[in-house]
Amino acid sequence: MDKTIRPRRDFEALETRRMAAAQLFSRGTWQAEVAQKLDVSRQTASRWYEAWQKSGRKGLKGTGRAGRKPRMEPSNKQKISQIHKFILKNCHPIMKISVQKEDNLKLTTPYPSPHTHTQDT
């Protein structure tokens, strides 16, 4: 299986291409010709055309990022970072965290704690 890493998208170049499409649309160039000139699919040219018709060049502006928006609030990221630092500093590496409530953590491990002593009878 080929595990080549895809290069990151060049958002400026992608937006430049969409703006070129807007220029062509404004000159009356057909969608199929725009697709051919800019080396994109007809479906992409059609989507661009619809966006251009609806909002002009503004409709072809990029969003500035790829992928979905983050679901985690920054304050939660900070809490997780603090918990992670605490664990790295104070806990055995095998321990796992099971979050029962937002501020109530339960630390569990498959091994007995070195601080508990069992008495053999």
Mean pLDDT, rounded, for 31-56 = 94
Whole-prediction pTM:
0.51
- Over residues 8-27, the mean pLDDT reads 89
| Burial (Cβ within 10 Å: 0-12, 13-18, ≥19) of residue 2 | exposed
Cα(118)–Cα(22) distance, integer angstroms: 76
Give the separation between CA 105 and CA 84, rounded to whole angstroms: 12
For 77-89, write each residue's pLDDT tens digit.
Answer: 788 888 877 776 7
CA dihedral for 26, 29, 30, 32, sign (positive or negative): negative
Q: What are phi and psi of 104, to 5 degrees?
A: -115, 110
pLDDT band with cut points at 50, 70 and 90 for residue 75: confident
